[in-house]
Amino acid sequence: MTSELAPEPMATDAALLEALRDGWREAQTVFQEMFPGPVSLLEPVVGITDLVELLPDTIAVGMRFEGRSPGLAALSLDCTAARALVVSLLGSGEADDAEVLSLLTDTSLELANIVLNAVLAEAGRALSETYRFEVPALMTADELAVPYGCRAYLLRGEIVCGEALPAPAQVIIRRASSGERGR
C-alpha cells in the first residue's frame, strides 16, 4: 500500500477519528463473538488519506450508506485470513476445500456487514447522524478509489487467526462522489 496517512489530522476530524477507533474496538468484540477459534483484531493506525489502494490478495467488501452525508464504507481483508475465518466457522473437522471456497465470499460479506455497521454506528453517534445502508457487495480498488478532491478515513490494522502471522485488515470510509449520490 502506498497511501499516506496524514500525520496530524485536522482538529475538526479528531472527534470522528476517535469515534472510528471506538468502532474498531466494537469490531474486535464482533470477531470474538462471531468466530469460535482464537481470532483477534490488532489496534489500527487511524488517519485521513486521499489515496486508498488495496494490497494484493485482499478481498474487499463495500457498503454504500445514505444519510445527511452519504458515502461508502469498506472492509478489506487478507484472503488467507478470510479463509482462516471460514475454517474457524466450519470447524476443522468439517472444512473441505470446496465448502471453504463456497463460503469465502459469503463470510466476507457478512463480516463486513457487521463490522462496518459497528464502525458507522460510532461515527453516526459522533456526528449525530443516522444512516440507511445498502446490501454489502464485493468491490474493486477502482470502486473504492477516493474521488478527486475528496478524502477518506482509514483504519489500518491487522487480524490474527489462530497461529497464523498477523495479516492486513483495513476499514475505509469516504463520502460519496457526486456521481454516486442519489443512485
Partner 1 sequence: MAMVMEEPRRRSALIIDDSRVAQMILGRLIAASGWEASRVAGGRQALAYLEREQPDVVFVDLLMPEMSGLEFLDELLRRGYRLPVVVLTADAQESTRRACRRYPIHAFLRKPARADVISKTLDSIPVAADDI
Among 135, 142, 148, 149, binds partner 1 (CB under 8 A): 135
Min. distance of Cβ 117 from partner 1 in angstroms? Answer: 4
Q: Does 127 bind partner 1 (CB under 8 A)?
A: no
Q: Which amino acid is at 153?
A: Y
Is residue 96 near partner 1 by the rule CB under 8 A? no
Q: Cell for 80? A: 488467507
Contact criterion met (CB below 8 Å) for 91 and 42: no
CA terminus-to-terminus distance, the chain = 30
Q: Provide the angle, in degrees to the nearest 10, between the axes of the packed helices 14-34 and 97-127.
A: 150
**Interface region with partner 1, contact rule CB under 8 A, candidates 9-17, 75-83, 114-122, 170-178:** 114-122
Is residue 24 within 8 Å of 119, Cβ to Cβ? Answer: yes
According to the binding rule CB under 8 A, does residue 52 interact with partner 1?
Answer: no
Q: Which of 116, 119, 108, 154 is nearest to 134 (CA)?
A: 116
Q: Which is nearer to partner 1, 123 or 146 (CB)?
A: 123
Smallest gap from Cβ 6 to partner 1, in A, equals 29
Residues that bind partner 1 (CB under 8 A): 30, 33-34, 89, 103, 106-107, 109-110, 113-114, 116-118, 121, 124, 130-131, 133-136
